[in-house]
Amino acid sequence: MSQGACVTRITKLLNIRAPIILPGMSWISTPPLVAAVSNAGGLGILATGPLSAQQTKQSIAEIRRLTDKPFGIGATLLMPGAEENVEVALREKVPVINFSLGKGDSIVERAHAYGGKVIATVVNEKHGRSAVSSGADALMVTGHEAAAHGGDVTSLCLVPALASRLPDTPIIAAGGFANGRGLLAALALGADGVAMGTRMACTVESPLAEATKRAIVAGSETDTIYSKNFDGLYARVLRTENALKVTKKPTNPIVAAYLSFGAAKLVGLPLWKVVPGLLTQWEKMYQLALFGGATKRIMAATVDGDLDYGVQFVGQSQGQIEGIMPVASVVDRTLEEAAASHSRNAAILNGATV
């Protein structure tokens, strides 16, 4: 097995061998997969969205039993319970905190106090500049091709734009990356590493339901749907007959509120944290209700492999996934392929015919 390395600002910042990141994906980026990616030389990020504070603490302890390598936790600050999960991570001195959809000033200050690093997930320059001004160490720049909530602009345009305008900040390119050619392309665009969520979801160590893994591997880059009608934000999901029906029209507000109660129960969130918001902060809580209403369908696809009812977040990079293999093989093959592609391109630029 290759022990090669690719040295970038991200590998130096995070103290990892390969500039390959597992982003936090609910019910997928669990301790075994997080540890597998970190052990393989990348950085695994735990998804805390479905977890209580106690479960987050237990998951951090489990990751530390499985690896002595750097790892991170991810938190979507808009979501209920996110602040509590971040608090646990900070107290446990988790090496890397990845936040999105919120302000991370206090997170940065407290993480830096113990030597931790902070990555902000952004989809545009405005949010990128805000994160940098708050002290974020790196940006995960998420393009239109990404699973779930990518931005309006493709990675091909967004990554070099932010790399040029924020040159002192390391960038992790997310959206459309699944192999060595993608890694090399991201580096050429000005990024310092890549997030490979969909690729890592389809590995041996991933807890994603086998039926859903097979459906993703069988799909092409055209087999996704990008719609606002699933969870209230524009999101990319696997194209199925059921997903086409679900994304045809927005969820009724009353239905969304009702579904949010069921979702809160599924993830162990007390209803007292949901009801006041529905009554006093309707616009914000309507969005959260839509998130909650989508939870049951996401779990059905992700955990149970039921694509007749469930809906699976997936990126357009699914068209590049040729099979289900161990995480270590994905990381090593990515590095080897990037090196081979670099050599080929260097020869072309030097006038050789290949």
The tens digit of pLDDT for each residue in 150-165 reads 989 999 999 999 999 9
Mean pLDDT is lowest, of 6-15, 61-70, 77-86, 305-314, for: 77-86
Helix axes 82-91, 53-66, angle to 10 degrees: 40
| Pairing assessment for the beta strands 117-122 and 138-142 based on DSSP bridges | parallel
What's the mean pLDDT in 3-31? 94
Give residue-wise pLDDT tens across range 191-248.
Answer: 999 999 999 999 999 999 999 999 999 999 999 999 999 988 899 999 999 999 999 9
Judged against a pLDDT cut of 50, whether residue 354 lies above it is answered with yes
Among positive and negative, which fits the CA dihedral 349, 4, 203, 189?
A: negative
The token duo for 84 is: 């509590």
Instruction: Give yes or no for residue 267 having a pLDDT over 60.
Output: no
Residues near 99 by beta carbon (within 8 Å), at least 6 away in sequence: 74, 75, 76, 77, 86, 107, 118, 119, 120, 121
Categorize the per-residue pLDDT at 78 as very low, low, confident or very high, splitting at 50, 70 and 90. Answer: confident
Nearest C-alpha neighbor of 137 from the set 146, 145, 147, 128: 128
Helix segments in 190-326, DSSP class H: 197-201, 210-218, 241-246, 253-266, 275-280, 282-302
Query: What band does 352 get if pLDDT is binned at 50, 70 and 90?
Result: confident
Q: For residue range 134-190, list pLDDT tens digits in order.
A: 999 999 999 999 999 998 999 999 999 999 999 999 999 999 999 999 999 999 999
Tell me the whole-structure pTM to 2 decimals.
Answer: 0.90
In this prediction, residue 270 has a pLDDT band, given cuts at 50, 70 and 90, of: low
* Element housing 172 (H / E): strand 171-174
CA 330 to chain centre: 17
Predicted confidence band at 1 (pLDDT cuts at 50, 70, 90)? very low
DSSP state of 313: B
Q: Is residue 273 pLDDT above 70, yes or no?
A: no
